[in-house]
Amino acid sequence: MSVSAQISFRDLTLGYERHPAVHHLNGEVAEGALLAVCGPNGAGKSTLLKGICGSLRPLGGAVDLHGISPRDIGYLPQGADLDRSFPISVFDLVSMGLWRRAGLFGGIGRKDRAKIEEAISAVGLEGFEDRPIGSLSGGQMQRTLFARLLLQDARVILLDEPFTALDASTTADLVDLVRRWHGERRTVLAVLHDFDLVRAAFPETLLMARRAVAWGPTKEALAPENLLKARHMGEAWQADAATCPVAA
């Protein structure tokens, strides 16, 4: 079966105030891929996800989503900037995942309620429906956000450090969900720091340090020489940096 590209990076440069955080990245993510994005702090991993979902405009080059809209992407940002003091229940927060179908005025009918309850139960939070989000633990909150992602039913899912500070059992449950998405041929990109987890669950890895250091089967991408190279490739942010000769 031929595999078509879902996301293509063409000489992509992303950054802040003209300083690149992702620099001249080229490559393709196949439809249905389960790709780990690894690299040292400041390597541009989170920036890359922001560029894919359209919240950050490229400084150069382009991201091609091959026909899907950035709004059809399920995106779980790092430490989601959620106001947990807002008086809203787990059920209502998860129901936001139906936005694409319900929009401004669409009602939430019996079928939708069943779907929401199913998503909550799929992440192991049965009985938590009416709990205010402010009373949840970090792990429970992350499960809630995964339930919302489940409801979004997105073809492309971007996860930015989704398992940070979670216990082993919560991580295992959520990794199972990621595997389920992969089985449904959804394209999943996850920024991760735990190499053991990446080796166990992610067949493909992009190792980056602003540029791609290695991209391919996880075992090869995470080879010791590549990891060493990534550690030394950190291009320091310089206030007086010259204009990039490729961009000029």
Q: Does 55 bind another protein (CB under 8 A)?
A: yes
Q: CA-to-CA distance for 245 and 248, rounded, in angstroms?
A: 5
- Compare residues 4 and 237 and give the one whose CB is closer to another protein: 237
Task: Considering only the stretches 60-68, 69-77, 110-118, 181-189, report the one whose residues sit in contact with another protein under the rule CB under 8 A.
Answer: 69-77
For residue 85, the minimal CB distance to another protein (Å) is: 8
- Residue from the set 18, 19, 71, 113 that interacts with another protein by CB under 8 A: 71
Cβ pair 204, 33 in contact under 8 A: yes
Q: Where are the beta strands (DSSP E) in the chain?
A: 5-16, 19-30, 34-38, 60-64, 73-76, 156-160, 187-191, 204-209, 211-217
Q: Does 195 bind another protein (CB under 8 A)?
A: no
Cβ pair 170, 139 in contact under 8 A: yes
Burial 42-77 (b: 16+ CB within 10 A, else e): ebbbbbbbbbbbeebebbbbebebeeeeeeebbbbb
Phi, psi of 239 (to 5 degrees): -60, -35
Q: Does 68 bind another protein (CB under 8 A)?
A: no
Q: How many residues belong to the site for another protein (CB under 8 A)?
A: 27
Amino acid identity at 154: A
Cβ pair 32, 182 in contact under 8 A: yes
Q: Does 83 bind another protein (CB under 8 A)?
A: yes
For residue 52, the minimal CB distance to another protein (Å) is: 11
Q: Does 82 bind another protein (CB under 8 A)?
A: yes
Q: Does 164 bind another protein (CB under 8 A)?
A: no
- Compare residues 40 and 74 and give the one whose CB is closer to another protein: 74
Which of 3, 69, 60, 32 lies closest to 183 in space, CA to CA? 32
- Residue from the set 4, 64, 86, 172 that interacts with another protein by CB under 8 A: 86
Point out which residues bind another protein (CB under 8 A).
53, 55, 70-71, 73, 75, 77, 80-83, 85-88, 92-93, 96, 99-100, 103-105, 132-133, 148, 152
